[in-house]
Amino acid sequence: MVARALSIAAVLALLAGCGSGFSHRAKGALGTVMAADRRALPGVNAADSATLTDGNAGFAGRLLATLARTHPTLVLSPFSISEALSMTSAGARGSTAEQIDRALGFRLPLPRLAAAFNAQTQSLALADTSGAKLELANALFGQAGQRFRAPFLSILARDYGAGIHIADFSSPAAVSEINRWVSDHTAGKIARLLSPGAVGSTTRLVLVDAVYLDAKWLIPFERSDTYPAAFHAPAGTIRVPTMHQNGTFGYLRGDGYQALELPYKGGRLALDILLADPGQLQQTLGRIASGGPLKALAGMKPQYVMVALPKFQLLTQLELSGPLAGMGMPLAFEPGRADLSGIAGNPGSLYVQRVIHEAYIDVDEAGTQAAAATGVGIGASAIEQQPRLRFVADRPFVFALRDTRTDAILFTGVIARP
């Protein structure tokens, strides 16, 4: 089985003044002037990594619950959003920085926060060699002639691998070049993140974060076991293509929900499904909002389960400035009041205009011969047993795609109608 997940987050910041620091005047519309230079930092300790993971998981739960109020079916990448906004927070100061840190769950001072993101990203990169294709990338696009502070550029290059590209945002070429960068880092799946009107003559900086994932199930679903089955959507019962198999998976019976973990080949990545009891979806989302999805998954044990899971494919684009302001960071979006003077200019001259996030996920039964061979080997013994546990996702559910080594939540979402 193959699951493909793509995510892009972009932060567009507008600047009216000038600050001191790095300066470059480009002759063309776009050109790279500082290359990415992410470096390993052996001094990152386990406590800082755990603090980052806990904060990111809490933010993921709060954001998902907030967005699900108006988007019953959606997919997003909380890791991508957190990393993009942590790059922004590297240039925030005063109350603006405090609000961003509180809303995002960042509980480390700037140098240690950036170093912890660096360590987590470099650990995630190892998943790319364990049976899954995982690409993480960051970049800055800055207005030609604008001065940016050298410490800001240095920390983004060192800890986020984000090189800066010089752009002329008054030219249509700038949007084309940003979209080309996005497309190149998502295997062409997201070709037009930004519309022509997304940037303009007042734009001074665009921060972009991209995540691309292509992973295969450890135990694939057989195509012959996919057939239409009932799904009880909020608007009424429908019939959707549903995959079936019996096997041993991580399983938990919680208070008002069931949880199931489907591992991917390589052993690092897994898709967790939280299936609310009938009528309990909002209570399950409330649990995730208060404690994050990791706490709702704690205590899973291997169980032999009959699984029925709908195939699903989602594409979601969100403008997140409103939800993020409502979650406690309104100052960053207020012209004249935001303090992003660590990036450039003076307090009040730079603010975040919008946060655009786009995510895509595709879950089906397709697999490789090696994966199918593993499935046949396990399925052979399953014929002798009849599962006592049933996990039938025939009603709205929440999912989280995570790295089991770092507990980074790469993608999460809600399925109200497959």
Which 8-state DSSP code applies to residue 189? Answer: S
* Maximum C-alpha span of the chain: 72
Report the 10 Å Cβ neighbour count for 87: 25
For residue 187, the model assigns a pLDDT of: 79
For residue 34, the model assigns a pLDDT of: 45
pLDDT (average), residues 217-245 = 93
What is the Cα–Cα distance from 393 to 328, expressed in whole angstroms?
34
Residue keyed to tokens 């926060």: 113
Q: Indicate whether 372 pLDDT > 50.
A: no
- Contacts of residue 111, defined as CB under 8 A and 6 or more positions apart, other chains included, come to 155
Which amino acid, residue 113? L
Find out whether 84 and 193 touch, Cβ atoms under 8 Å. no
For residue 201, count CB atoms less than 10 angstroms from its CB and return exposed for 0-12, middle for 13-18, buried for 19 or more.
exposed
Mean pLDDT (the chain) is 82
Query: pLDDT class for 362, splitting at 50, 70, 90?
Result: confident
Structural domains in the chain? 2-62+75-215+314-361 (3.30.497.10), 217-311+375-415 (2.30.39.10)
Which amino acid, residue 139? A
What is the Cα–Cα distance from 118 to 138, expressed in whole angstroms?
12
pLDDT tens per residue, range 199-214: 878 888 888 888 888 8
pLDDT tens per residue, range 73-122: 999 889 989 998 999 999 999 999 999 999 999 999 999 999 999 999 98
What is the Cα–Cα distance from 49 to 46, expressed in whole angstroms?
5
Pick 38 or 389 by higher pLDDT: 389
What is the Cα–Cα distance from 266 to 249, expressed in whole angstroms?
15
Q: Where are the beta strands (DSSP E) in 184-343?
A: 203-216, 227-233, 236-254, 257-263, 269-276, 301-310, 312-319
Supply 125's token pair. Answer: 């990169």
For residue 130, the model assigns a pLDDT of: 63
Q: Indicate whether 141 pLDDT > 50.
A: yes
- Contacts of residue 260, defined as CB under 8 A and 6 or more positions apart, other chains included, come to 249, 250, 251, 272, 273, 275, 305, 307, 391
324-349: buried (b, 16+ CB within 10 Å) or exposed (e) per residue?
bbebebbbbbeeeebbbbbbbbebbb
How far lies 265's CA from each of 215, 219, 259, 307, in Å? 7, 8, 20, 18
Q: Is 323 left (phi over 0), alpha (psi -120 to 50) or beta?
A: alpha
Query: How does DSSP assign 144-185, residue by residue?
Result: TT--B-HHHHHHHHHHH--EEEEE-TTSHHHHHHHHHHHHHT
How far lies 73's CA from each of 137, 233, 307, 379, 399, in Å? 27, 11, 21, 32, 11
pTM (2 decimals)?
A: 0.88
